């Protein structure tokens, strides 16, 4: 748990720490696991170097998912309750690709998020914003043959947290992804373009390179918007290049 | 970000790789929706790769610790393994378990005292003479990116001694990758994110973990 005194640090203190780290870094494409402005990382990041190795045996494969696992309705987070959830209905669409630009097909994509008031359906979320009885904020789908996923959901709101005084997370959706190798497994967050909280947020800023941070931001896409129904966002996700030898017949395997 | 056609063409003809999307923390609020019919992460019975009542079921359990030695109650652990014969499963049904199919994949959350528990089988060697292991991924609030590690079974000491990965790890840290076997067959594997007993975490080609202190 956080040291209560640490949560009294000002935004200025946190922002200064972020700037100092960014000034001495360049070209890093992944977050730092040791990012002191994100106070919870202090005791939870490995301190020894990662052990480099090549994947072997089971690591060159990933679990299989199918429509026995995921019902098509699970990708629509607006139909899980008994009525319409409150907020801006939106569709998020994009592709899951590997480093070689190959679509990651038939793999599981899961999301979870706060509601339009910035509240999660979770017993540990005690932020006094209203829960929406028609929105649980959890969904999943399976990518299609071109690697596309699509969710219908409600735009989440920013919410306060206790990292420091007056800390607010930019609005975001958590994404969980599998690849064709288990070493491609990842969890990340999708953000919305133009959020004024970006520069203040130590989680988003734990990626020191601006180009890399930009990879987490969706694009507003009017072609994904629907007349009198939803706004639309587009976001591609790239997993690390597959380590497994690609076999031609896998194109048709699913 | 949208990957445009030029980037995609360059990646596909091998002239330039696409850069992987950065990871982010799982946060504290994963996996909790109201009711069985609804989607939830983790899903029902995710920790049961086999029914705990099955005669071949093995309990895999351990506690996840932070750098002060305190257990972490908001971590999520996933495992991926071969079956008892060393076969790599390619069966669906990990999310909606039918009680019969072994899919090889499980997901569990740490409880209030930082302990995870799976019901599974001892993995077999995927190749003759290889030391069998279970692959693990750790996610937690405060942890900015996933961490990979392996759980080796303690029994086949000859295979463990010959294993390429274990041999490449400093001798005094090797033990952090090997589970303990308890009298009732339970496999115990604690995970230390920091500290003297810090678990060896693995980095595979293509993903970077910038700067460690």
Interchain contact, B24 vs A188, CB within 8 Å: yes
CA distance A13 to chain B (A): 19
When CB atoms are compared, the residue of B18, B92, B144 closest to A206 is: B144
Contact B14, A100 (CB under 8 A): yes
The answer to whether residue B106 is domain-embedded is: yes
pTM of the model: 0.96
* Residues in CB range of B61: below 8 A, 6 or more apart: B115, B116, B117, B118, B186, B187, B188, B189
CB contact under 8 A, B33 and A137: yes
Q: For chain A, what percent of residues have pLDDT higher than 70?
A: 94
Structure tokens at A60: 């060159």
- CATH number of the CATH domain containing B116: 2.60.130.10
The mean predicted confidence, pLDDT, of chain A is: 93
Instruction: Note if A71 is an active site residue.
Output: no
User: Which range of residues forms the domain containing residue B175?
Assistant: 58-192
Across the interface, which of A121, A174, A182 has its CB nearest the CB of B32? A121
Asked if B172 has any chain A CB less than 8 Å from its own CB, the reply is: no
Kindly state the tokens that stand for B34.
């109201």
* For residue A5, pLDDT beyond 80: no
pLDDT at A243: 74
Establish if B20 belongs to a structural domain: no
Which one of A58, A64, A240 has the shortest CB-CB distance to B81? Answer: A58
Written in H, E and C, the secondary structure of chain A is CCCCCHHHCCHHHHHHHHHHHHHCCCCCCCCCCCCCCCHHHCCCCCCCCCEECCCCHHHHCCCCCCCCCCCHHHHECCCCCCCCCCCCEEEEEEEEECCCCCECCCCEEEEEECCCCCCCCCCCCCCCCCCCCCCCCEEEEECCCCCEEEEEEECCCCEEECCCCCEEECCEEEEEECCCCHHHCEEEEEECCCCCCHHHCCCHHHCCCHHHHHCCECEECCCCCECCCEEEEECCEECCCCCCCCCHHHHHCC
Task: Single out the residue of B174, B172, B55 nearest to residue B122, CA to CA.
Answer: B55
A165, A174, A213, A244: the catalytic one is A174
**Separation in Å, CA of A70 to nearest CA in chain B:** 8
Task: Give the minimum alpha-carbon distance from B183 to chain A in angstroms, rounded to a whole number.
Answer: 28
Which of A40, A183, A237 is nearest residue B142 as measured by Cβ atoms? A40
Segment A181-206 shows an average pLDDT of 98
Q: Which residue of A has its CA nearest to B192?
A: A46
Q: Please state the rounded mean pLDDT for residues A30-53.
A: 96
Residue B210 lies in a domain: no
Residues of A in contact with B105 (CB under 8 A): 63
- Does B100 fall in a domain? yes
Chain A nearest C-alpha distance from B54 (Å): 22
Q: Give the Cα separation of A163 and A143 in Å (integer).
A: 35
- Split into its structural domains, chain B has a count of 1
pLDDT band at A252 (very low <50, low <70, confident <90, very high): very low
CA pair distance A223, A234, nearest whole angstrom: 9
A127 is catalytic: no
Q: How far is CA A15 from CA A5, A36, A39, A86, B210, in A?
A: 18, 11, 13, 33, 20
Choose, from A38, A95, A105, A159, the residue flagged as catalytic. A159
A159 is catalytic: yes
Residue B4 falls inside a structural domain: no
pLDDT digits (tens, 9 = 90+) for A58-74: 999 999 999 889 998 99
Contacts with B55 (C-beta within 8 Å, 6 or more apart), sequence order: none
Q: Sorting pLDDT into bands at 50, 70 and 90, what band is A250?
A: low
Residue in chain A closest to B201 (alpha carbons) equals: A50
Q: Select which of A38, A39, A169, A233 is catalytic.
A: A169
Q: Is residue B50 part of a domain?
A: no
Catalytic annotation present for A233: no
Q: Which of residues 8-27 of B touch A (CB under 8 A)?
A: 8-12, 14, 17-27
- For chain B, 213 residues long, give each residue's pLDDT as a single digit of tens: 999 999 999 999 999 999 999 999 999 999 777 655 678 888 889 999 999 999 999 999 999 999 999 999 999 999 999 999 999 999 999 999 999 999 999 999 999 999 999 999 999 999 888 899 999 999 999 999 999 999 999 999 999 999 999 999 999 999 999 999 999 999 999 999 999 999 999 999 988 999 876
Number of neighbours of residue B100 by Cβ within 10 angstroms = 10
Measured CA angle at A219 (ends A213, A222), to 5 deg:
175
Whether residue A169 lies in the annotated active site: yes
Q: What pLDDT is recorded for position B212?
A: 74
pLDDT at residue number A35: 97
Calpha distance A149→B134 (Å, rounded)? 29
Quote the pLDDT of residue B161.
94
Which of A15-24, A245-254, B119-128 is least confident?
A245-254
Please tell me the predicted confidence (pLDDT) of residue B39: 81
ipTM of the complex model: 0.96
pLDDT digits (tens, 9 = 90+) for B132-142: 999 999 999 99
Which residue from B72, B78, B193 is facing A46, i.e. has the nearest CB?
A: B193
Q: How confident is the model at residue A254 (pLDDT cuts 50, 70, 90)?
A: very low
Gap between the Cα atoms of B201 and A75, Å rounded: 33
Query: Is residue B5 domain-resident?
Result: no
Banded pLDDT at A174 (limits 50, 70, 90): very high
Q: Is residue B8 included in any domain, yes or no?
A: no
Phi first, then psi: give them for residue A20, nearest 5 degrees: -60, -40
Pair of tokens at residue B131: 């030391």
Distance from CA of B60 to the nearest CA of A (A): 18
Q: In this predicted structure, what is the pLDDT of residue A4?
A: 56
């Amino acid at each position: 748990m956080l040291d209560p005194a640490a949560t009294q640090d000002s935004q200025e203190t946190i922002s200064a720490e972020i700037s100092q780290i960014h000034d001495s870094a360049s070209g890093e494409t992944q977050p730092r696991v040791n990012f002191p402005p994100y106070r919870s990382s202090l005791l939870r990041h490995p301190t020894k170097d990662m052990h480099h190795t090549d994947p072997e045996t089971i690591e060159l494969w990933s679990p299989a998912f199918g429509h026995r696992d995921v019902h098509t309705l699970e990708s629509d987070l607006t139909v899980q309750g008994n009525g319409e959830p409150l907020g801006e209905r939106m569709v998020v669409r994009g592709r899951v690709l590997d480093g070689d630009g190959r679509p990651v097909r038939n793999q599981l994509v899961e999301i979870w998020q706060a509601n339009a008031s910035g509240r999660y359906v979770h017993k540990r979320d005690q932020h006094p914003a209203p829960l929406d009885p028609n929105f649980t904020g959890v969904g999943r789908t399976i990518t299609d043959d071109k690697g596309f996923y699509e969710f219908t959901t409600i735009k989440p709101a920013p919410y306060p947290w206790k990292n420091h005084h007056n800390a607010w997370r930019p609005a975001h959706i958590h994404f969980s992804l599998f690849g064709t190798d288990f070493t491609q497994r990842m969890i990340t967050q999708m953000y919305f373009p133009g959020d004024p909280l970006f520069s203040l947020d130590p989680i988003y800023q734990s990626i020191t390179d601006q180009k890399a941070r930009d990879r987490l931001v969706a694009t507003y896409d009017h072609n994904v918007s629907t007349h009198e129904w939803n706004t639309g966002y587009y976001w591609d996700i790239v997993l690390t290049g597959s380590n497994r030898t690609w076999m031609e017949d896998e194109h048709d395997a699913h | 970000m949208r990957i445009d056609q030029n980037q995609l063409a360059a990646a596909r003809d091998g002239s330039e790789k696409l850069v992987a999307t950065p990871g982010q923390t799982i946060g504290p609020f994963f996996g909790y929706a109201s009711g069985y019919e609804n989607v939830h992460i983790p899903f029902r019975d995710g920790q049961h790769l086999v029914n705990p009542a099955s005669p071949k079921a093995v309990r895999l359990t351990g506690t996840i610790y932070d750098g002060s030695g305190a257990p972490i109650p908001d971590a999520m652990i996933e495992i991926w393994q071969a079956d008892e014969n060393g076969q790599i499963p390619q069966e669906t049904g990990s999310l909606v378990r039918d009680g019969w199919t072994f899919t090889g994949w499980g997901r569990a959350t740490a409880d209030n005292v930082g302990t995870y528990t799976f019901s599974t089988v001892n993995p077999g060697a995927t190749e003759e003479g290889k030391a069998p292991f279970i692959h693990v991924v750790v996610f937690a609030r405060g942890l900015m990116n996933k961490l990979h590690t392996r759980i080796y079974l303690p029994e086949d000491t000859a295979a463990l001694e010959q294993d390429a990965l274990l041999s490449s790890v400093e001798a005094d840290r090797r033990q952090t990758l090997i589970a303990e076997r308890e009298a009732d067959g339970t496999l115990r594997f604690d995970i230390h994110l920091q500290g003297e007993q810090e678990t060896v975490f693995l980095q595979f080609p293509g993903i970077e973990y910038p700067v460690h202190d």
